[in-house]
């Protein structure tokens, strides 16, 4: 048994992109399976409506499946001895310009929070979304800014590759919406582009704060506010910002990606001088 556990840990501690991708695919498969089984139990005559339904639909259709998957991910982290390193303060920090990612995303979320018709939404649905948002932020960031980043760094990849893998795998996970959502292909592909640059912003949040908790909390504040604003928008100019959030995040992410590439090239060029 000890030998098997050691082999298990050694396999994952080699790191690399393909192990990161494998872990993300297994995570997605488990999440979808749990959601499917839960919908059959709670709604045998149909299915839970997930993000667009009632408070119960949101919590049981989206929140509970991702919470159960999160518990399994924490168990996996414990099995390979990564729990402490994932949540400890990171040695690689960021630069001041990386705070732009934090400011832009939080600003969008605040504007969305202030432009929701809470009377129309109702307290139960708002509460269900806030709780579910915490689960989403914790689990999705644990996978992509936690496991993926850690696996890429263990394999010795440069940080630009780490950033692109983290954002790319995060975006690719949302391709599952092609099969689980009633929205068209064009809308889902737009979501994938958005989530790539949102994922890049979360990577920069990780870098500049040096803790995985920060992108988890920023992410947790994003899904509930934007979803509730989309479903129950209040009249007013404040709603313009969250309405344009996709374009704002994509433009911000693109600019920050260019800045990151330049910064990492300069850091790599200067590295030999400190050896």
- 5, pLDDT greater than 60: no
> Distance (Å, rounded) from C-alpha 218 to C-alpha 141?
10
Q: Name 245's bridge partners.
A: none
Q: By the 8 A CB rule, do 103 and 204 touch?
A: no
pLDDT in tens, 93-149: 999 999 999 999 999 999 999 999 999 999 999 999 999 999 999 999 999 999 999
| Per-residue pLDDT band at 40 (split at 50, 70, 90) | confident
Between 3-7, 73-77, 78-82, 85-89, the lowest mean confidence (pLDDT) is in 3-7
Integer Cα distance of 18 and 151 in angstroms: 9
For the segment 176-194, the average pLDDT, to the nearest whole number, is 87
- Reference 61, options 51, 71, 75; nearest CA is 51
Report the range of poorest mean pLDDT among 113-122, 180-189, 198-207. 180-189
Residue 236 banded pLDDT, cuts 50, 70, 90: confident
Residue 249 has pLDDT above 90, yes or no: yes
Global pTM reads 0.92
Residue 207: both structure tokens together: 């870098």
Rounded Cα distance, 104 and 249, in Å: 8
Question: Which of 175-184, 248-257, 260-269 shows the highest mean pLDDT?
Answer: 248-257
Q: Regarding predicted confidence, which is higher, 92 or 268?
A: 92
């Amino acid at each position: 048994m000890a030998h098997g556990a050691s082999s298990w840990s050694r396999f994952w501690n080699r790191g690399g992109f393909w192990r990161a991708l494998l872990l993300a695919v297994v995570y997605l498969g488990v999440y979808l399976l749990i959601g499917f089984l839960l919908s059959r139990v709670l709604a045998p005559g149909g299915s839970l409506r997930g993000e667009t339904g009632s408070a119960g639909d949101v919590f049981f259709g989206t929140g509970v499946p991702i919470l159960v998957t999160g518990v399994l991910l924490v168990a996996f982290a414990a099995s390979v001895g990564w729990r402490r390193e994932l949540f400890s303060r990171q040695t690689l920090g960021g630069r001041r310009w990386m705070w732009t990612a934090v400011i832009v995303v939080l600003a969008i979320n605040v504007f969305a929070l202030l432009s929701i018709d809470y009377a129309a939404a109702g307290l139960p649905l708002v509460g269900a979304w806030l709780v579910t948002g915490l689960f989403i932020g914790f689990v999705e960031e644990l996978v992509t800014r936690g496991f993926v980043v850690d696996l890429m760094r263990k394999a010795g990849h440069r940080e630009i590759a780490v950033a692109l893998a983290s954002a790319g795998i995060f975006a690719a996970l949302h391709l599952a919406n092609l099969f689980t959502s009633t929205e068209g292909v064009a809308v889902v592909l737009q979501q994938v582009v958005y989530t790539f640059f949102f994922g890049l912003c979360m990577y920069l949040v990780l870098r500049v704060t040096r803790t995985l908790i920060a992108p988890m909390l920023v992410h947790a504040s994003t899904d509930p506010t934007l979803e509730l604003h989309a479903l129950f928008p209040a009249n007013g100019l404040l709603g313009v910002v969250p309405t344009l959030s996709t374009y704002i995040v994509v433009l911000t992410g693109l600019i920050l990606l260019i800045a990151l590439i330049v910064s990492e090239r300069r850091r790599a060029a200067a590295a030999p001088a400190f050896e």
